[in-house]
Amino acid sequence: MIHHSTAPSFEFNDIGLADDQYAVRIRNLSHHFGTGDLKTQVLYDINLDLKRGQIVILTGPSGSGKTTLISLIGALRSAQSGSLKVLGKELVGLNKAQLVEVRRNIGFIFQAHNLFDSLTASQNVEMAVELLEDWGEKRAKAAEILAKVGLASRVHYKPKALSGGQKQRVAIARALVNEPALILADEPTAALDKKSGREVVTLMQKLAKEQGRTILIVTHDNSILDVADRIINLVDGRLESDQSLETFVNTHDPKSLDRRMFIM
């Protein structure tokens, strides 16, 4: 496939939609690493809108810039040029302290669960609630969200006593407990077996639909593509395609799909 000489822009037809109907609006976003001779561009002129309530899967080969893109959207890196609006807030030009503030409104789910072994499931989730200074209800909130992810009977278990899937569900509970409008998940199923991975993704889908959350999932795992409303393919730092699930499956024959998506 030939790269577009000018970057494609998607969903620009929705001009009538106001800003607050998008969780993420990206215009002409480019990103470089390094300086001087070592300067390399990893993202080229990205234009992308994520509507609220959508579940979007971001795929692409290793080194395509997926991780960079998701860390920019997650306010984990400073955006350099172009425009990047997350939940209505422009991230280009923000300092570190301001980025920390933005991050508090985003739910993060990582490949590893990253739970503190020394804390119970409830305490791990409460750590997120404490960011909102919500001291009185933190325990109740944690218990409620843990019940939603099916861990009502494991609230006071420490991670060592939980299975891999259960730990990832605690991590999801931690990401969801503050009811963020945007959830970013980086390979959430990579550390799980197929069945647990499936359960975790279905759970994310269910909670997102119930509560109208926007979810952006970076994944190599084609067994979970069916939860997505949209599938975006990133190659060499450029948006290559942006399709609904049906068109994605139809236009990617399994062999090319495999080749493109499973180069680690």
Partner 1 sequence: MKRRTPLAWSNLTYERRKLVTAIAGVAFAVLLMFMFRGFENALYDSQIQLLTRLNGDIVMVNRIKYTMFVPEQFARRRLYQAQAFDGVDAAYALYIRDGAAWKNPQTKKVRALRVLAFNPSEPVLPLPGILANREKLTMPWTALMDEKARTEVGQVAAGTVSELGERQIEIVGTFSLGTDFASINGNLVMSDQNFIRYFGQVGPDEQSRSLGTVDIGLLKLAPGANAEELVQVLSDRLPKDVSVYTKEDFVKKELDYWRNNTSIGFVFSLLTTMSFIVGIILVYQILYTDVSDHWAEYATLKAIGYNNVYLLTIVLQQALILAVLGFIPGYLIALVLYDLTTNATGLLMQMTLWRGVNLLIATFMMCLISGLIAVRKVQATDPAEVFS
Binding residues vs partner 1 (CB under 8 A): 67, 70-71, 74, 76-77, 97, 100-101, 103-104, 107-108, 110-112, 114-119, 123, 126-128, 130-131, 135-136, 174-175, 186-187, 190, 218
Nearer to partner 1, 73 or 252 (CB): 73
Q: Least Å distance between CB 262 and partner 1?
A: 15
The pair of three-digit structure tokens given for residue 261, joined into one six-digit string = 């998506």
Q: Least Å distance between CB 47 and partner 1?
A: 22
Nearer to partner 1, 200 or 218 (CB): 218
Q: Least Å distance between CB 150 and partner 1?
A: 22
Nearer to partner 1, 123 or 196 (CB): 123
Cα 126 to Cα 106: distance, rounded to the nearest angstrom: 16
Nearer to partner 1, 142 or 227 (CB): 142
Q: Least Å distance between CB 254 and partner 1?
A: 25
Q: Least Å distance between CB 12 and partner 1?
A: 28
The pair of three-digit structure tokens given for residue 52, joined into one six-digit string = 């609220």
CA angle 39, 45, 46 (to 5 degrees): 120
Nearer to partner 1, 10 or 221 (CB): 221
Nearer to partner 1, 10 or 145 (CB): 145
- R_g of the chain, CA atoms, integer Å: 19
Q: Least Å distance between CB 108 and partner 1?
A: 5
